[in-house]
Structure 1
């Protein structure tokens, strides 16, 4: 048993790789064979001592293969879920997505359950127990093989079916980015004609962090090449007002006086260095017709040279984290030829992105204060008027009570 226990320790990972899986099942099969041999010998000296062995070995081999197939199918299915979620606004994808997730969750639950049973077997084997107890422990573990084989087969059939349905619909080739109809491209222009509500403090702080302090009369701004390109990130949940805040900053009179060109670029979920470089060049009034990234980056360097610019990269997703952030670093390197005082303003809902682009200059944008929110709600619901009659006051109180209950 000591030698067997050593083998079990070596194969404790079980499904971590193909060799570990094979080692574990070979070891358990050998223990079961030894137990069956002793049982048959004690029951009847004349009984064929190898009668039970072929069936046990076949069951063990079947479970090993089925579990390994299920384990290796998971990356493909998780990739499929990731792709289908990006097109879940389409009716067919939305209908199939819950079935794909359900089948994957069933598979993950079964694999976790098997890991638990293996861990339980390991704990039992680590105890100083009598041989008969070891026999019962292994037989109890092995007797569950038939149930596992049955359940794995059902789950695998479900996975195969939903994967085939997704392939027939072409969903397995869906790009990992949202359609423009779902996430329309943002610009500095917005429809809101009234001033932003309840963000005066945040606006003042953000403008200050961009280095805008107001120009003194007679002061000449330096056009020296910058020593460091500073980035400010606005981080907050979707819909909290990050883009609106950035739009207001771009239209702020002091900001427009402080910076030369102000360039707005919508990043969204596709951080494509070439696309963004082209967009920035065009925002600076340059020619971005080339498809050669090196040529485009040289053009960008020339365009920003000696200019104190403000570049807004709106709605940046975690796609920037891929490829060891090489695209982000190369883009920033080109922009360093700008004048001292240039800034990049990034809006994102991902804290990891904010920490990457602006490790020491993150600004958390939270929701409106309750009083400001209700004042804004009343204005939207009942119209912006200074007079507040009894009927309007009653309706406002009723709505507030319903929301708070």
Structure 2
């Protein structure tokens, strides 16, 4: 929503106006001031859109404000499209001598007057609506933000830590073995190698990293093991401070960057270390290179294990081959669900509960976070009626306030550029489990 078609269409109109001579435009030139006012109003709203988008989930009034804004923007889009088409039609007709008669009729004073009055009223009406919406934004206390191409501010997930009980991890033994082979491989050219674990939210990238981090063979292999939850923003000074804390088990006394980098290098240079950077989002290569420089003094064979949802993060780190994490197998999905939903993790004797449970697991699409979250909700429901009702009425109504799955998955949505959020929203036009035709979706 932060970059709607309005801005592009408006720019196109101004270019069209500039390319035509004043005497050719006639009455249309009188709209220049109105269009400029419209553009100014849109600009004041544009500055707060990112903040409004993020806050709408917690505030119904903001959600209603955004809906009114979208409706008004669509009307403005239609209006300016009409205006742009009118100008284009004039250009085409004036270039074709065979259309001289039609041009005379089209450019008659009566036609221009009627069109001028009509479009003038429409422009003023749309601007009045947008002015009213712009005035309302003050009461919400929105924060103005610059709109950039790739990175957006968003909610920060809770900090992660390095520990996990081995018995809590289900269905990731093969993945653990593959990651271990990469970590223990000493046949590398670089002193410090980067290994990214990539996957969508909720697949268990952090859990897999914890699983490997606490492996006894990995512990014996590396002289030093460090864990930092990065999230956003990707701030080198903050990361260095956390690294020193992880290595020394105490917070640095000085927060001057020169002293911090010196202390970090004193801790890691010449040592065989394993560093986990959990939940990396930043796609800024310059920032990554600044951090990489400080990490480069490790003994040959040192490894940096990164977890991320973004393949662009892999590109900026220069890693050769990321580890792409997939979902759980069908059997492991069911085993995890049993552990979360049933007492003692044992399959119940009631075959109807098993049948309903397997249907629910299938809808979790092999995503461990979804299975854990929904299984936990069902732990206190014991009857067939409760489970059946949950499957048919509550499964798709779990809100952000009720459990932790949506805040985690919503991070991926928050990181989409605004124009892609709008595209993503079109998917909600289709019923659940509907097979979407790609061309139909693109057309919409």
- Whether these two folds match at TM > 0.5 is yes
- CA 1:23–1:361 in 2, change beyond 3 Å: closer, same or farther? same
1:277–1:300 contact (8 Å) kept in structure 2: yes
Residue 180 of structure 2: aligned partner: 207
Residue 247 of structure 1: aligned partner: 210
| 1:172-251 to 2 correspondences below 5 Å | 172-173=143-144, 177-178=153-154, 183-190=157-164, 194-210=167-183, 212=184, 227-251=190-214
Residue 371 of structure 2: aligned partner: none
Cα distance in 1 between the residues matched to 2:45 and 2:278: 31
1:281–1:303 contact (8 Å) kept in structure 2: yes
Give the unaligned 5+ runs of structure 1: 1-12, 34-55, 214-220
- CA 1:79–1:205 in 2, change beyond 3 Å: closer, same or farther? farther
Residue 155 of structure 1: aligned partner: 126
- CA 1:109–1:250 in 2, change beyond 3 Å: closer, same or farther? farther
Cα distance in 2 between the residues matched to 1:269 and 1:103: 33
Residue 24 of structure 2: aligned partner: 31
Tell me the CA shift for residue 365 of structure 1: 1.7
Kindly indicate whether residue 38 of structure 2 is the aligned counterpart of residue 64 of structure 1: no
Structure (1 or 2) with the larger CA radius of gyration: 1
Residue 321 of structure 2: aligned partner: 361
Match of 1:312 among 252, 272, 276: 276
Residue 136 of structure 2: aligned partner: 165
Tell me the CA shift for residue 278 of structure 1: 1.2
Q: Cα deviations across residues 19-47 of structure 1 (Å, max 9, x unaligned)?
A: 735424x53x52355xxxxxxxxxxxxxx
Cα distance in 2 between the residues matched to 1:193 and 1:65: 68
- CA 1:173–1:381 in 2, change beyond 3 Å: closer, same or farther? same
Residue 282 of structure 1: aligned partner: 245
Cα distance in 2 between the residues matched to 1:314 and 1:106: 44
1:378–1:396 contact (8 Å) kept in structure 2: no
- CA 1:165–1:73 in 2, change beyond 3 Å: closer, same or farther? closer
Match of 1:339 among 290, 295, 299: 299
- CA 1:88–1:239 in 2, change beyond 3 Å: closer, same or farther? farther
Residue 131 of structure 1: aligned partner: 100
Give the unaligned 5+ runs of structure 2: 1-7, 147-151, 364-432, 434-444
2:338–2:347 contact (8 Å) kept in structure 1: no
Cα distance in 1 between the residues matched to 2:313 and 2:194: 12
| 1:107-122 to 2 correspondences below 5 Å | 107-112=76-81, 114-119=83-88
Cα distance in 2 between the residues matched to 1:344 and 1:105: 48
- CA 1:238–1:30 in 2, change beyond 3 Å: closer, same or farther? same
Tell me the CA shift for residue 380 of structure 1: 2.6
Residue 397 of structure 1: aligned partner: 355
State the secondary structure of the residue aligned to 1:271. Answer: coil
State the secondary structure of the residue aligned to 1:248. Answer: helix
- CA 1:100–1:287 in 2, change beyond 3 Å: closer, same or farther? same
Q: Cα deviations across residues 90-137 of structure 1 (Å, max 9, x unaligned)?
A: 325455444444444544454455445555555556656321233456
Report which structure shows greater RCO (CA 8 Å, sep ≥6).
2
RMSD of aligned C-alpha atoms?
3.7
Cα distance in 1 between the residues matched to 2:90 and 2:223: 70
Tell me the CA shift for residue 230 of structure 1: 1.7
Cα distance in 2 between the residues matched to 1:229 and 1:120: 63
Tell me the CA shift for residue 331 of structure 1: 0.8
State the secondary structure of the residue aligned to 1:129. Answer: helix
Match of 2:11 among 6, 11, 16: 16
* More deviation, 299-308/109-118: 109-118
Cα distance in 1 between the residues matched to 2:230 and 2:105: 61
The total of aligned residue pairs comes to: 347
Cα distance in 2 between the residues matched to 1:75 and 1:263: 45
2:192–2:296 contact (8 Å) kept in structure 1: yes
Tell me the CA shift for residue 138 of structure 1: 5.7
Residue 395 of structure 2: aligned partner: none
Cα distance in 2 between the residues matched to 1:345 and 1:314: 8
- CA 1:298–1:160 in 2, change beyond 3 Å: closer, same or farther? farther
Cα distance in 2 between the residues matched to 1:19 and 1:386: 69
Cα distance in 1 between the residues matched to 2:12 and 2:81: 16
- CA 1:19–1:197 in 2, change beyond 3 Å: closer, same or farther? same
Normalized against structure 1, the TM-score is what? Answer: 0.71
- CA 1:150–1:19 in 2, change beyond 3 Å: closer, same or farther? closer
Cα distance in 2 between the residues matched to 1:370 and 1:23: 62
